[in-house]
Amino acid sequence: MSTKTKNANGSIYDVDQVPPAGLFVGLSLQHMFSMFGATVLVPLIVGLNPGVALFSSGIGTLLHILITRGKIPAYMGSSFAFIIPMASLMKSFGYPAVAQGVFSVGVVYLIVALIVAKAGTKWIDKVFPPEVVGPIVIVIGLSLAGSAATNATMVTNAKGVSEYSIAAFSVAAITLAATIIYNMFLKKFLGMIPVLLGIITGYIAAVLFGLVDFTPVMNASWFAIPDFNSLFESTKFYPSAIISMAPLALVTISEHLGHLMVLNKITGRDFFKEPGLEHTLTGDGVASIAASLVGGPSVTSYGENIGVMQMSKVYSVAVVGGAAAFAIVFSFIGKLSALITSIPGAVIGGVGFMLYGVIAAAGLQIIVDNKIDYGKKRNLMIAAPVLVMGIGNFNLNFGHGVDFTGVAIATLVGIFLNLVLPKEAASEKD
């Protein structure tokens, strides 16, 4: 198939299409690089093994593709929603407690999937109409803006203290500019991998600015088995792990719904019906359960990869599966894994400015396409608190590792206001 030919939904390669071998490799690597920074950042913060997280993300993605019968292009990466409870459990009890928490998250997904299978999905239209979904999707993208800005301006000095860096700022700016230029002016094969090319350009700039430390790459062996752990390493039961992590699954489920809605929009499909929400939720749940069995963090679908699909117009499930396969292979190749780990935060931040913004723009597109009128007070009263709470991270912290993020609170507030507010304000009836 020529790369100039577009499908009816505007894609160059649709969900069920497979690009030629050379292009397939480039597109798959683009997806892998896009999710890599966030996927390994979570275990680095929590104290888990990054190689295991890379492996579990690949395995989780392949399981998700299998369970959804190869009908939805979704990549499973380390979830940020569980960082605080996982870090607390790791510090207090070690990985067995984290594993039990991760396992419980997967079980919650499976329970919700079972409910959906029995009760159907009509409730989604009532709970998540466009006037709620649009602002929530915007929040999903822009809630990551602070992380991108921090990565793009801060570096850790020799004393382990974060400090502002003009070099990091410069590298992030170069990465962003390169990604925009490649996206706008390149054609054919190169025009479909602007994010990958942007990361490569940013990495070269980072080397020139002295932000890359090659020592770990030089010291790494070519073949290295990740430090796998297991849910079954301890027979001790940790109730606090279940209490602190299982409820947060409802947060990532809401994000899951938001991601599906964005994918529905850009692909012109309805994934709630085919392969069905019960299958997509089951795929997420099984992916987290698999992660708990090897020593990885809980996983969830990644907005970064959705952003890549939206920019490249390549929605191929096979390409996402290829990224998963590369992640698994790279988790065993010590030098390659170390090389990718050496990508500085400035490069990830520069790309993040684009990818996270693309997600937010998809939320705006939902609002525009559905002609949501913000002259109506009801729509305004829903959107206003959702946007500010989510972007400002108005989180609810109960202590003991139980922390509901701003995205979670904003989602619940949006759902609640949509269900209780009347169709018209009293002043609009006069």
Per-residue pLDDT of the chain (430 residues; tens, 9 = 90+): 344 467 877 888 888 888 998 889 989 988 888 787 678 767 766 778 788 889 999 999 999 999 999 999 999 988 876 776 787 788 888 888 888 999 999 999 999 999 999 888 777 778 778 888 888 878 877 877 887 888 899 887 777 778 898 999 999 999 999 989 988 898 766 776 777 788 889 999 999 999 988 888 888 888 888 777 766 666 788 887 888 788 778 767 877 887 888 888 888 888 888 898 999 999 999 999 999 998 888 898 887 788 888 888 889 999 999 999 999 998 888 887 778 778 888 988 898 888 778 778 878 888 888 899 998 999 999 999 999 998 888 877 776 555 566 777 888 888 899 999 988 887 877 6
What pLDDT is attached to residue 3? 46
Q: What is the distance between the alpha carbons of residues 22 and 364, in angstroms, rounded to a whole number?
A: 35
DSSP 320-381: HHHHHHHHHHHHHBHHHHHHHHTS-HHHHHHHHHHHHHHHHHHHHHHHHHTT--TTSHHHHH
For residues 316 and 194, the answer to whether their CB atoms sit within 8 Å is: no
Q: Which of 21, 351, 7, 13 is nearest to 182 (CA)?
A: 351
Other C-beta atoms lying within 10 Å of the C-beta of residue 381: 14
16 falls within a domain: no
Rounded to the nearest 10 degrees, the angle between the axes of helix 317-332 and helix 334-341 is 110
116 falls within a domain: yes
> If residue 26 lies in a helix (H) or strand (E), which one and from where to where?
helix 21-46
**Range of 341's domain?**
21-369
412 falls within a domain: no
Number of domains in the chain: 1
For residues 315 and 266, the answer to whether their CB atoms sit within 8 Å is: yes
- Helix, strand, coil percentages, rounded to 5, for the chain: 70, 5, 25
415 falls within a domain: no
Q: Where are the alpha helices (DSSP H) in 186-316?
A: 188-191, 194-208, 215-219, 239-245, 249-267, 277-294, 303-312
13 falls within a domain: no
120 falls within a domain: yes
383 falls within a domain: no
394 falls within a domain: no
